[in-house]
Amino acid sequence: APTSQSRIDRFNRRLPKFLHKYTNALGNAPVTHITSFLILHELTAVIPLFGLAGYFHYTHWLPPWIAEGAWIASGVERFGRYFKRKGWIRGEEALEAEREVDDMQKKQKLRKVDQAWNVGEGGVRLVVEFATAYAVVKMFLVPRIVFSVWATPAFA
C-alpha cells in the first residue's frame, strides 16, 4: 500500500507549481496542517457569525438583498430549533419566525426589511438576525476556504 508521503508527493506533482509551497508543508506535518486548516476554517465562520448577528441586533438593520433567500429559511429553521432547545426562546417564537419567512417567500415582494421582519418581536427577531448572519457567512464560503488554506502554514 502506498504511504501517505507518497500520496502527497503524487498529489503535488499534479498541482501547479505556485501551490507547492502550501502542499509541501502538508507532506512534512499532515496532522498539524489539517488541524490548523480546520480550526482556521471554523474560526472564519464562528467569529463573523456572532459579530454579524450582534451588529444586526444592535443596529436594527438587516441587509435587504439577502432577507428573502433560501439560506435565510434554512438558517431560521436551524437557529430556531437550536435556540428553542437551549431555552433562549419559546417554541411558538421559532414557529412564528418560520411562518414569517414562508409568508415573505410566498409574497415575493420587496419591502423594507425592518417592517417585513417585524423587528421588535424579541425571540423571532433574534432568530432572523442569526439566520441572516448565517446566510452571509455561508455566502463567503469560498473566500473563507482560500484564506484558511493561505494561513494554514503560518498557523500550523
pLDDT tens per residue across span 58-110:
998 888 766 566 667 777 778 877 887 787 777 777 777 777 766 666 654 44
| Position 116 pLDDT exceeds 50 | no
What count of Cα atoms within 13 Å lies in the side-chain half-sphere of residue 89? 22
Contact 52, 79 (CB under 8 A): no
* pLDDT score, position 41: 96
Per the structure, the count of domains in the chain is 1
> Cell digits for 93?
417564537
Q: How far, in whole angstroms, is CA 155 from its chain's centroid?
A: 21
Under 8 Å between Cβ of 129 and 77: no
Q: Ramachandran region of residue 48, left (φ > 0), alpha (ψ -120 to 50) or beta? A: alpha
How high is the pLDDT of residue 45?
96
CA 7 to chain centre: 31
Q: What was the pLDDT predicted at 70?
A: 66
CA distances for 66 relative to 52, 133, 146, angstroms: 13, 10, 23
Q: Return the DSSP state at 123.
A: H
Quote the domain boundaries for residue 46.
4-155
Higher pLDDT, 40 or 1: 40
pLDDT of residue 50: 97
